[in-house]
Structures are given as C-alpha cells and as structure tokens.
Amino acid sequence: MRILITAGPTREYIDDVRFLSNASSGQMGYSIAAAALRGGHQVELVTGPVEIAPPAGCTLHRIETTEELRERCLQLFPQCDGVIATAAVCDYRPQQRIAGKITKTGQPVLLELTETSDVLAELGSMRGHRWVVGFALESQDPRNNAMRKLKMKNCSCIVLNDTSAIGSTENTVEVLSPDAETIAFFRGPKPEVAERLMVLIETAIAIRSDSSD
C-alpha cells in the first residue's frame, strides 16, 4: 500500500518570528511511518517541525502551517490507499499576520483568531475507496468527542488518546469503529503501539474499505 501519514505540530504565525503551536513531538506519527515501512509499504510522510529524524525510506514532505499541510495532503491523497492522520493541527490562526516583528509598547495586544482548515474532514470527504484513520487527543468527554470527530470527518476508525501522550515515549490508545465499538486497545512504547496499529490497519481497516468499494 501507499500510505499518507501526517505527523508533528503545525504553526500559525502571529508575526515573522512568533507563532501559535503545540507541544507535539511527532513520535507517534514517525513510529507509525517506521512500522509501515517495515511492513513493506510506501510512505508519504507530511511532517510539521519536530526534532527527531524521519525513518529511512519514506518520502518526506516538510510543512509548517496548516494550509501547507492541507495543500500537500490534497495533492498526495488521490495517489494513496489510505491516510493515518496523527498530526497535531493548530486549530486557530491569527486573523491577520503582522509583517516584521511586533514591537513591545507596554500596552495589551488584542489577538483575533480564526479557525484553520479542517484537513482531515476534507480528506474524509474525498475518501472514496480509500481508508481514513484519524487520531483524537481528548481531555473532556473523550469517547463522545472522538465519535463526533469520526462521523464529522468520515473516518474508517479513530484512535483515541489523551494529553498524557504529548511529548511522552509511551501511549495508550483505544481504536473506535463507526459503530462506537472498541476494536482495539493498545498500551506501551509508541513504536510498539505503532506496530500493533499497523497490523490492525492491514488485517481489518484496509480490507474493510476494499470490500465496501
């Protein structure tokens, strides 16, 4: 299979030096990319800024902003069999980016934010015969929020984890089906979780998408 994998954070710039972002390390996405490569798959890895080396053998696409992520994913997805969306997309961006560097004046600065593009929802809308695996990092009402995300974004399944995963070398995930059933539960180092998730995708998720085509 040719698999599109998104990883790491996105950045939304306030001015030329300051930006909004999050603490995603990219470890989960990079671990999944490595597991997919070991499984003999082709990997298109679209990654935000992280401090870890990409797995050898993937085709690497570096991005910063959510719009860059969107453009690259829309370009690549039609040639892929599926997508695993682990990227921690910045949900908001400044209404206006200031040219240069904002100078301190001693006065409060009002920052007006607007929502960024919903990249996963767009990929889900053009899914067709492909499979779409989303990630949901939730801290409140996690299961209901994850299921809402799965349905809104037309995912084949969604991988639910919580904020303890951020920056950690370990993860605990629950994989939910469109029928709100728990189809898998994995806990352990992220590379181990990634291996088990790839086996699930190969033996259940991808096959189910092919049979429903």
Give tens-digit pLDDT for 131-153: 999 999 988 899 999 999 999 99
User: Hey, what's the torsion of the CAs at 68, 69, 72, 75, to 10 degrees?
Assistant: -120
Please say if 22 is a catalytic residue: yes
* 2-92+112-211 homologous superfamily: CoaB-like (3.40.50.10300)
Angle at which helices 27-38 and 190-200 cross, to 10°: 50
Give me Rg for the CA atoms of the chain: 17
Give tens-digit pLDDT for 161-203: 988 888 889 999 999 999 999 999 999 999 999 999 999 999 9
pLDDT band, residue 64 (cuts 50/70/90): very high
For 66-73, what is the mean pLDDT?
98
Give tens-digit pLDDT for 4-60: 999 999 999 999 999 999 999 999 999 999 999 999 999 999 999 999 999 999 999
- 3 state SS of 5: strand
| Bridge pairing between strands 2-7 and 12-13 | unpaired
- 3 state SS of 104: coil
In the set 22, 145, 154, 171, the catalytic residue is 22
Residue 211 has pLDDT above 80, yes or no: no
- Residue 99: closest CA among 18, 180, 26: 18
Residue 210 has pLDDT above 70, yes or no: no
Q: What pLDDT is attached to residue 94?
A: 96
Give tens-digit pLDDT for 105-121: 899 989 999 999 999 99
